[in-house]
């Protein structure tokens, strides 16, 4: 049975006693049940000292990574976050400026709407002679922001028939091979 076999811990005491007796006949030391019960040999003490010295030497000679290496590795991320932050702040300022401009335009529109809503009083004209008008015209009242209507003369339009043949402007010249 192997020493690392888990079934060995459950083996009967008769087999354990037989194994210990055989070990004694062969001149092998009895297995220690606890590490603290055994007395360390000078070879084990010297081996432990050698291992401790080697561990201290490796600890002293190992290259220690300083914090500046970590900072150098984190620098691109910090710069990217800073750039995004600056861009966000500039976008916020632009949005605030646009909101202020929109608010100012709304105030102007409300002011114009209030001016349009008020009736415009035409200045008093001197009394004109009572001449019969050829056409009856209602007096026109202009509102703020409107222009006076213009009387345009009618234009003469002459219809032109286009020919069925293409003109020289509509053709392309192709070389004959």
Mean pLDDT for all residues in the chain: 79
What average pLDDT does the segment 128-143 reach? 57
**Residue 141: which residues within 8 A CB-CB, separation 6 or more?**
120, 122
What average pLDDT does the segment 146-157 reach? 72
Q: What is the pLDDT of residue 61?
A: 83
Query: Is pLDDT at 19 greater than 90 in this prediction?
Result: no
pTM: 0.31
Contact 122, 139 (CB under 8 A): yes
Is the model more confident about 37 or about 16? 16
Indicate the Cα dihedral angle 93, 98, 102, 108, nearest 10°.
90
Contact 142, 116 (CB under 8 A): no
Share of the chain above pLDDT 70, in %: 66
């Amino acid at each position: 049975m192997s020493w690392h076999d888990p079934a060995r811990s459950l083996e009967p005491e008769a087999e354990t006693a037989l194994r210990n007796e055989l070990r004694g006949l062969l001149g092998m030391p009895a297995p220690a049940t606890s590490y603290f019960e055994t007395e360390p040999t000078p070879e084990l003490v010297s081996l432990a000292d050698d291992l401790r010295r080697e561990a201290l030497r490796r600890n002293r000679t190992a290259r220690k990574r300083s914090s500046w290496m970590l900072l150098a590795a984190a620098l691109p991320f910090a710069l990217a976050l800073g750039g995004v932050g600056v861009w966000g702040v500039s976008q916020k300022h632009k949005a605030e400026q646009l909101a202020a401009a929109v608010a100012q335009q709304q105030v102007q529109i409300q002011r114009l709407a209030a001016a349009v809503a008020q009736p415009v009083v035409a200045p008093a004209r001197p009394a004109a002679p009572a001449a019969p008008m050829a056409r009856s015209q209602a007096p026109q009242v202009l509102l703020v922001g409107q222009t006076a209507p213009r009387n345009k003369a009618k234009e003469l339009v002459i219809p032109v028939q286009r020919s069925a043949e293409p003109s020289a402007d509509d053709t392309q010249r192709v070389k004959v091979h």
